[in-house]
Amino acid sequence: MSQLEPVDAQDPKINSLLDNLGELIREARHKALRAVDTIQVQTSWQIGRHIVEFEQQGAQRAGYGKQLLALLAKELTVKFGKGFDASNLRYMRLFYQAFPIRDALRHELSWTHYRRLLGVQNEKARQWYMNEAATQNWSSRALDRQILTLHYERLLQSRDKTPATEEATTNTQAMKNSPREFIRDPVILEFLGLPSPGRVKESKLEQALIDHLQSFMLELGKGFSFVARQQRISTDGADLYIDLVFYNYLLKCFVIIDLKRGRLSARDVGQMDMYVRMYDELKRSEGDKPTVGIILCSEGNDSVARYSMLKGNEQLFASSYKTVLPTEEELRAELNREQALIEDRLLNQSTE
């Protein structure tokens, strides 16, 4: 009886088989993603059409306004989940109004793409971004980046369009979607009526990020001393909590950090300015320099770090603080790296 030879993972034939299987799996995942995207976009367009046509049938229905969306959202959310709340229904109605010809839609784009496009008021710009996103295979994050940097408007104003085009290509290459990002996308999960593992684990992710940031700042070795975590400051009867507080004995100032989930907003910036002002008033002692705040916003792989100081201290920050504190880019890169590691760990735990 002959003994079976052991399978060698380095065997060229095995490698060839693995390559073929890998390609099949990648292609299947891509088709699954495209199928869900197409169905979601078509369904959102149809829902928007039904709502608009219903509102157009008589003065009474046209006057329903927010009441109609609120009623529909209440009933649909009970039956089908959060993917059909009032906010999403409002997007669907706008979607139909902005793209009334269904055949003109680009099937390469997802519902998240179209939600981004609805924020573009100029119709020509919106159409250009739609076609360019489909042609260049931009992820929704890449599209968002191009819109925020006014890529279309800059191209119109440029005689030589090559630099702007090359810059866009370079910056969008790192923003490609992966199958793992697809299964974490809350927009898709809400549409399918599935729970979002990212939201289920959100509090754990935030706590893990704060844990790491605390260690990261101390390990920089540039005069940081830990003061408090979730420190409460009270004023005018309101209690506010700051995620992390350090004191830097080289700069002789407090450094406060606030971690946010989602994209950076003007409200976040205003809130941090308020924290800095309050901390200066309540905690700063004689001899201490002005407090500096750091806002960290984590959204997928597109984190943002922003420093905040009270107006009038810009020169002090540039001449002194910047020589000791980590740069915004260093903080952003560290947050992206650690968030990816933590999310992978939490995802693996949830699937074990």
Residues 198-241 have pLDDT tens digits of 443 445 666 777 777 778 787 776 888 888 888 887 666 566 78
Tell me, yes or no, whether 21 and 74 share the same domain.
yes
In this prediction the pTM is: 0.52
Residues 6+ apart with CB under 8 A from 103: none
Residue 117: C-alpha distances to residues 105, 138, 164, 272 (Å): 12, 13, 20, 29
Which of 173, 194, 215 marks a domain boundary?
A: 194
Tell me, yes or no, whether 132 and 211 share the same domain.
no
Residue 102: C-alpha distances to residues 51, 89, 114, 195, 297 (Å): 15, 18, 13, 30, 36
pLDDT classification of 124: cutoffs 50, 70, 90 = very high
Determine the pLDDT at residue 200.
Answer: 38
Strands (E), 121-275: 224-235, 238-248, 253-261
Tell me, yes or no, whether 343 and 230 share the same domain.
yes
Please check the confidence at residue 75 and state whether its pLDDT lies above 80. Answer: yes
Task: Kindly report, residue by residue over 229-283, the tens digit of the pLDDT.
Answer: 888 876 665 667 888 899 998 889 999 988 887 777 788 888 888 888 888 888 8
Pairing of strands 253-261, 304-308: unpaired
Which of 194, 229, 253 marks a domain boundary?
A: 194
Tell me, yes or no, whether 20 and 120 share the same domain.
yes
Region 158-182: what's the mean pLDDT? 53
Please check the confidence at residue 49 and state whether its pLDDT lies above 90. Answer: yes
Contact 224, 231 (CB under 8 A): no
Three-state DSSP class for 254? strand
- Does residue 53 fall inside a structural domain? yes
Tell me, yes or no, whether 186 and 50 share the same domain.
yes
Tell me, yes or no, whether 218 and 174 share the same domain.
no
Which of 151, 172, 194 marks a domain boundary?
A: 194
- Does residue 1 fall inside a structural domain? no
Task: Kindly report, residue by residue over 334-349, the tens digit of the pLDDT.
Answer: 777 777 776 666 555 5
Tell me, yes or no, whether 262 and 190 share the same domain.
no
Determine the pLDDT at residue 198.
Answer: 42
Mean pLDDT across the chain: 78
- The three-point CA angle 310-312-315 to 5° equals 110
Residue 311: C-alpha distances to residues 266, 292, 315 (Å): 16, 11, 10
- Does residue 2 fall inside a structural domain? no
- Does residue 4 fall inside a structural domain? no
- Does residue 212 fall inside a structural domain? yes
Tell me, yes or no, whether 48 and 149 share the same domain.
yes
Tell me, yes or no, whether 174 and 268 share the same domain.
no
pLDDT classification of 41: cutoffs 50, 70, 90 = very high
Determine the pLDDT at residue 352.
Answer: 46
The whole domain housing 342 covers: 202-351
- Does residue 7 fall inside a structural domain? no
b/e per residue 154-171 (b: at least 16 CB within 10 A): eeeeeeeeeebeeebeee
Task: Kindly report, residue by residue over 319-337, the tens digit of the pLDDT.
Answer: 788 888 888 888 888 777 7
Region 170-184: what's the mean pLDDT? 48
Strands (E), 144-262: 224-235, 238-248, 253-261
- Does residue 5 fall inside a structural domain? no
Tell me, yes or no, whether 269 and 334 share the same domain.
yes
- Does residue 17 fall inside a structural domain? yes
Phi, psi (degrees; rounded to nearest 5) at 2 = -80, 145
Residue 124: C-alpha distances to residues 121, 129, 131 (Å): 9, 9, 11
Contact 141, 113 (CB under 8 A): no
Tell me, yes or no, whether 221 and 331 share the same domain.
yes
The CATH number given to whatever domain includes residue 328 is 3.40.1350
Q: Which of 6-15, 76-85, 258-267: highest mean pLDDT?
A: 76-85
Contact 125, 101 (CB under 8 A): no
Determine the pLDDT at residue 197.
Answer: 46
Straight-line distance from the first to the last Cα atom of the chain, in angstroms, rounded to the nearest whole number: 40
Least confident of 59-68, 137-146, 183-192: 183-192
Determine the pLDDT at residue 235.
Answer: 65
Contact 192, 36 (CB under 8 A): yes
Taking alpha carbons only, the member of 318, 314, 315 closest to residue 327 is 318
Q: How far apart are CA 300 and CA 339, in angstroms?
A: 8
Q: Is the dihedral of CA 103, 109, 115, 119 positive or negative?
A: negative
Determine the pLDDT at residue 199.
Answer: 43
Q: Total domain count for the chain?
A: 2
Tell me, yes or no, whether 217 and 331 share the same domain.
yes
Three-state DSSP class for 51? helix
Please check the confidence at residue 45 and state whether its pLDDT lies above 90. Answer: yes
